[in-house]
Amino acid sequence: MNSGQHRIYSYLINEILEGRLAYNSRIEPEIELGKRLGTTRMNAHRAIKHLEKRGIVSRDRHDGTIVKRRITASVARELRSDLAGRVGVVHSRNRYEFLHWNEALVKNLQSELKDTGLTLEDVNMEHVSTREQLKSELKRLTDSGFSAIILSLRGNEDSFFMDNADILFQYHRNIFVYQSGAENWHELPFHTVTVNLFSEGRIAAEYLAELGCEHIAYCSPVDDEREWSRERWMGLEFGLRRCFDGKVEAERWTGLENIYSQFTAEGKKHVLVGRNDKTAVDIIEFFRERGLTLGKDFCIMSFDDDVRYRDYELTTIAPPHEEIGRNLGELISKYAGVSPDGGTTCYLKVDSRMIKRKSL
């Protein structure tokens, strides 16, 4: 909702909560409502449409707009949450959350929310570890007035929230998820923005093909099957098949000692792709200790744009945090207050971007 729609929406909710618009009461015509509150008939129409989606009012060509829902204590609590203007952020318990929830994302998210009178506020749930504690905390948040809650999710440390998604769904209507793509959480009943990790591998393949690289090795420190690494590898593999018509395939090397041995044994001709920036830096340091120089003896690229390793000038692929902040803000502005079983539940995968530096 824009500011005009939000003004009318807030006014009508207050009138309903205060009893001035009781059950079966008729709401004044849209053109009069918009004029009286200093905005347009279209804004009045969309604000009332929002109430209709919530099941608060019904509209009829002959009878006009009627309050059709009795306001129970739980409905009143939900409506007050709509007016609170606060969006709570529950942060990931994963220590690498800074890679996907950063200043650029927050700045653009706040900018989008500002237009509808919403502000961000951190919510501490570090102590919550049982279903009963989660119920109690969500009831407190709803009672204190939060229009929406954002879950910032990254890894296994956050599985508690996903294992108890039914409680989240029960106690708050407006749950929005931003996840890094590190876990396969796509069957949630919440509006979700996530990172397309498969596309990161594909983007890497397209860039390597553009450079004419035909000897490529995807490198991991250990032989694991983490979802995020598997997605990147699959994107790289599929992307190379498309770019080279199936004639070039990436190898998969594991372990620093083995990566070094295979690289030197095969004539130092491979371009290395680290599964993330940390892996790339570990390889650079390992090779340096053995007399190999980045840029002269080997080239490497990776993923994440980890701020801790900027000095290494890594060519990397990372999410467009500004765009993600805007996407998340637009979802909240559009769908907060709309019953999740009364419309569309959005699942948005955002492609990452190539950041070219000196390592390749």
Domains and CATH numbers, the chain: 3-71 (1.10.10.10), 78-196+321-352 (3.40.50.2300), 198-318 (3.40.50.2300)
DSSP bridge pairs for 298: 294
Q: What is the mean pLDDT of residues 214-239?
A: 93
What strand order describes the sheet that includes 26-27? 26-27, 64-67, 57-60
Q: Which of these, 192, 216, 191, 181, lies nearest to 299 by C-alpha position?
A: 216
> HEC string of 51-106?
HHHCCCEEEECCCEEEECCCCCHHHHHHHHHHHHCEEEEECCCCCCHHHCCCHHHH
Strands 300-303, 251-254: pairing kind: unpaired
Tens of pLDDT, residue by residue over 305-341, are: 999 999 999 999 999 999 999 999 999 988 775 544 4
Amino acid at 346: C
3-class SS of residue 321: helix
Q: Which of these, 145, 202, 163, lies nearest to 354 by C-alpha position?
A: 202
Q: How many angstroms separate the Cα of 20 from the Cα of each of 10, 81, 89, 329? A: 14, 19, 34, 33
185 — pLDDT class (breaks 50, 70, 90): low
Say yes or no to pLDDT of 81 above 80: no
Mean pLDDT lowest for which of 140-144, 208-212, 214-218? 140-144
Tens of pLDDT, residue by residue over 231-267, are: 999 999 999 999 999 999 999 999 999 999 999 999 9
Q: Where is pLDDT greater, at 172 or 269?
A: 269
155 — pLDDT class (breaks 50, 70, 90): confident
- DSSP letter, residue 319: -
Tens of pLDDT, residue by residue over 21-63, are: 999 999 999 999 999 999 999 999 999 988 888 889 998 888 8
Q: For position 63, what pLDDT does the model report? A: 81
Q: What is the mean pLDDT of residues 106-116?
A: 90
Tens of pLDDT, residue by residue over 87-104, are: 999 999 999 999 999 999
DSSP bridge pairs for 192: 177, 347
Say yes or no to pLDDT of 189 above 80: yes
Say yes or no to pLDDT of 269 above 80: yes
Say yes or no to pLDDT of 77 above 90: no
DSSP bridge pairs for 123: 90
Q: For position 337, what pLDDT does the model report? A: 56
Q: For position 217, what pLDDT does the model report? A: 98
Mean pLDDT lowest for which of 66-70, 77-81, 233-237, 336-340? 336-340
Say yes or no to pLDDT of 188 above 80: no
Q: Which of these, 210, 252, 211, lies nearest to 233 by C-alpha position?
A: 252
Q: For position 338, what pLDDT does the model report? A: 52
Q: For position 252, what pLDDT does the model report? A: 96
17 — pLDDT class (breaks 50, 70, 90): confident
346 — pLDDT class (breaks 50, 70, 90): confident
Mean pLDDT lowest for which of 122-126, 186-190, 293-297? 186-190
The pair phi, psi for residue 67, each rounded to 5°, is -70, 115
Q: What is the mean pLDDT of residues 174-192?
A: 83
Distance CA 110, CA 237 (A): 38
Q: What is the pTM of this model?
A: 0.80
10 — pLDDT class (breaks 50, 70, 90): confident
